[in-house]
Amino acid sequence: METRSRVLLLTLLLAPLTGCASLHWPWQHKPVAAAEAPQDGSEPVAATPRIIDPQVARRTIKVPKIDAKNVEFGSYYGALSIEDFGSNPVYGLRAAYHVTEDFYFEANVGRSTAGKTSFETLNGSLQLLKPDERRFSYYNLSLGYNFLPGEVYLGRNRAMNSALYLLGGIGSTKFAGDQHFTVNFGAGYRVLPTDWLAIHLDMQDLVFQSDLLGKNKLTNNLGAHLGATVFF
Amino acid sequence: MAHSTSTIPLIPPSRSTDRRRFGAGWSLALLLCVAGLLAPVAQAAKEYLQLFVAEPYLELHIGPGRGYAVTQVVPRGGSVDVLYRRTEWFRVRSERGVEGWVSQADMALTTRADGSLFTFDFGNRAGYQSHHWESGVFAGDFGGATLLSAYLARSLTDQLGVEFTASQFLGNASNGYTLDLGLSHVFAPEWRLSPFVTLGTGMIHVQPKVTLVQQADRTDQTAYVGAGLRYYWTRRFFVRAEYRSHLVFTSRNANEEIDEWKLGLAFFY
């Protein structure tokens, strides 16, 4: 009795399963078209056209961008002759943007500390300026012009590009507790050991009006610098 | 010798062609001398634009300028990778690994892989008419003092833009700076010489000269109205001349008016 009822229940369970096999469940792969092709090599019947919907994602061809390396950034160190206050070390930062092969714009900031006038040195204790007023800081916006391009040879196996340049512009100088409109002009020599590195040797005169020592006069403050910049 | 893929030296090797460029070791040593400098981005595996020589040959200069010597050429059919550019000069590398500089005029005669001529957009009048940003520097006069000024503008439409201006003035009696924020309106952006008007507000900081007068520094609010002309020069550059009338809202009895005249060079991008 028990065996008979077990057989009945099992039969009832298995009966729907045979039907399930004929259904297409989502996890089942659809039959491959090639598998349906006749095995004897004959062509598929033309009466059953297969619609092919090519869903090909078109490759977008990206044209590689050409990087611009017109910007030059670096620093310099040198000596600045501050009129009436002796020669002193100067250091600064320089950034340039090359517009054409001939012209470029340059912005630079620099700082130095003025020494003593000969009057102060002779008088010993007398001080014209407070220590913080001796700080000499300036910025310039200039236009540069490259000329005499060439190549320099270092020994037998090394060649480096070089050029001379002229530079002139305007800016501001802060010195002795006062700010002065400043005109600058200069010239320099640029040598490029590689295409991204430049070594500069330059002279720059900062000209401004000053009435610090009693009378209003035009002061010339000539600096000579050695610097390096990187192109990027 | 496969001429189609080689690079021909023009000068006998004993001249400059066999001179190695300055060694990397030396360059590194020199770079380390410069404190705080950024090293150039490492040349990672990067895809470069490949161009084919269509003229009899392509001249490679040793530097980015017409005055630098031509020491190598790439013959017709050869190809070059364009590494980067400086101003109107392109740094290229031939299939044999020889690098050099090619002028824009010579580059315009090379072809892309599909046979079309190479073109490069250095900026043009269309960009002058319609762009997103512009920036520039000025020199001029600010109520008798010398003025140095810089501005940055964001275009809202071809005609309307928001401008931020920072200026420093250096005079006989006082120094100071101004900061302005305002709107500008260009009447006919498609004209090469086009007039514009500006309107805005800002602040002024005045520092009287210590050697002349003993006065305290002062900061006041300002408003300005102005007009000017801009003229397209070349590529991405234009000249800009401008007048602004500033009204300074002082804490004293009367307000102050200052005239500002300036001329400068600007570029758009």
The pLDDT of residue B17 is 43
Report the residue of chain A nearest B121, measured CA to CA.
A66
CATH of the domain at B184: 2.40.160.20
B63/A161 touch (CB, cutoff 8 Å), yes or no: yes
Q: Are residues B104 and B180 in the same domain?
A: no
B56 shares its domain with B185: no
Do B48 and B141 reside in the same domain of the chain?
no
> What does the alpha-carbon distance between residue A173 and residue A111 come to, in Å, rounded to a whole number?
10
Please check whether residue B73 is in contact with residue B59, taking contact to mean a CB–CB distance below 8 angstroms: yes
Q: What pLDDT does residue A43 have?
A: 53
- Residue ranges of chain B whose pLDDT lies below 70: 1-45, 210-214
B19 and B64 housed in the same domain: yes
CA within 13 Å, CB half, B200 = 21
Same-domain check for residues B255 and B133: yes
- How far is CA B261 from each of CA B18, B142, B178, B228, B258, rounded to the nearest angstrom? 56, 7, 14, 10, 10
Quickly list DSSP for chain A. -HHHHHHHHHHHHHHHHHHHHTS--TTSPPPPHHHHS-TTSPPPPTTS-------PPPPPPPPPP-EE--EEEEEEEEEEE-TTS-EEEEEEEEEEEE-SSSEEEEEEEEEEE----HHHHHHSS--SS-GGGGEEEEEEEEEEEEEEEEEEEETTTEEEEEEEEEEEEEEEEEETTEEEEEEEEEEEEEEESSSSEEEEEEEEEEEEEE-TTSS-EEEEEEEEEEEEEEE-
pTM of the model: 0.73
What does the pLDDT read at residue B15? 41
| Nearest-by-Cβ selection for B210 from A151, A172, A177 | A177
Indicate if B73 and B14 belong to the same structural domain.
yes
Say if residue B172 is in the same domain as residue B205. yes
Are B168 and A161 inside 8 Å of each other by CB? no
Give the pLDDT confidence score for residue B189 in this predicted structure: 92
Residue A162 is assigned to a structural domain of this protein: yes
| Beta-carbon separation of A153 and B19 below 8 A | yes
Considering only CB atoms, A101 lies closest to which of B62, B82, B88, namely B88
Q: What is the pLDDT of residue B14?
A: 42
Determine, for residues B65 and A101 on separate chains, whether the beta-carbon distance falls below 8 Å: yes
User: In 3D, which of B134, B205, B136 has the Cα closest to residue B174?
Assistant: B205
Is residue A222 domain-resident?
yes
Q: How far apart are the first and last CA of chain A?
A: 94
What amino acid is encoded at B241 in this protein? A
Is A179 in Cβ contact with B207 (below 8 Å)? yes
Residue by residue, pLDDT tens for chain A (232 residues) are: 556 777 777 776 666 555 555 555 566 555 544 444 445 555 555 566 777 777 777 777 777 888 889 999 999 999 999 998 999 999 999 999 998 899 999 999 999 999 888 888 888 788 888 888 899 999 999 999 999 999 999 989 899 999 999 999 999 999 988 889 999 999 999 999 998 999 999 999 999 998 888 888 999 999 999 999 999 8
Nearest CA in chain A to B113: A63
Q: Which of A98, A99, A108 to mutate to test the interface with B (most CBs of B within 10 A)?
A: A99
Taking CB atoms and an 8 Å cutoff, what residues of chain B touch A171? 148
Mutation pick from B37, B89, B233, B269 vs chain A, by most beta carbons of A within 10 Å, is B37
Burial annotation A98-137 (CB, 10 A radius, 16+ → b, else e) = bbebbebbbbbebebbbebbeebeeeeeeebbeeebbbbb
Q: Six-digit token pair at B38?
A: 């950024």
Q: Which domain holds residue B44?
A: 8-111
* Inter-CA distances, B12 with B8, B19, B71, B96, B199, Å: 10, 11, 9, 18, 65
Residue A37 counted as domain residue: no
From chain B, pick out residues whose CB is under 8 angstroms from the CB of A232. Answer: 38, 40-41
Residue B80 falls within a domain, yes or no?
yes
Residues B23, B84: one domain? yes
**A218 belongs to a structural domain:** yes
Residue B159 and residue B65 share a domain: no
Q: Are the Cβ atoms of B237 and A99 closer than 8 angstroms?
A: yes
How many distinct structural domains can be found in chain B? Answer: 2
CA atoms within 13 A of residue A170's CA, in its CB half-sphere: 15
Contacts of B155 (CB under 8 A, 6+ apart): B130, B131, B132, B133, B134, B161
Instruction: Supply the Cα-derived Rg of chain A in whole angstroms.
Output: 41
Q: Chains A, B: CB contacts under 8 A, how many?
A: 140
Same-domain status, B180 and B64: no
Shortest Cα distance, chain B CAs vs residue A42, angstroms: 43
Asked whether residue B38 falls in the same domain as residue B99, the answer is: yes
In chain B, which residue's Cα lies nearest the Cα of A106?
Answer: B137
**Cβ(A143)–Cβ(A119) below 8 Å:** no
Q: Is residue A92 in some structural domain?
A: yes
pLDDT, residue B259, reads 95
**Residue B170 and residue A64: Cβ atoms within 8 Å?**
no
Task: Quote the pLDDT of residue A69.
Answer: 92
Six token digits for residue A175: 């010195």
At which residue do the structure tokens 């070390």 appear?
A: A89
- What's the CATH number where B13 sits? 2.30.30.40
Q: Same domain for B198 and B262?
A: yes
Q: Which domain holds residue A96?
A: 71-231
Choose one of B48, B83, B111: the last residue of a domain. Answer: B111
B173 Rama sector, left if φ>0, alpha if ψ -120 to 50, beta otherwise: alpha
A205 part of a folded domain = yes
Distance between CA atoms of residues B132 and A193, nearest Å: 38
Say whether A193 and B210 touch across the interface (CB within 8 A). no
**Which of A67, A161, A193 comes nearest B27 by C-beta?**
A193
Q: Give a yes or no: residue B1 inside a domain.
A: no
CA B211 to chain A, closest CA, distance in angstroms equals 8
Query: Residue A190 is part of a domain; what is its CATH number?
Result: 2.40.160.20
CB contact under 8 A, A64 and B90: no
Does residue B62 sit within a domain? Answer: yes
CA of A119 vs chain B CAs: smallest distance (Å)? 20
Number of domains in chain A: 1
Q: What is the pLDDT of residue A24?
A: 59
A15 falls within a domain: no
Q: Please give the pLDDT value at position A57.
A: 79
Residue at A19 is within a domain: no
A-interface mutation test, from B31, B102, B106, most A Cβ less than 10 A away: B31
**In Å, how far is B68's CA from the nearest CA of chain A?**
6
Rounded to the nearest angstrom, the gap between the alpha carbon of residue B205 and the centroid of all alpha carbons in its chain is: 30
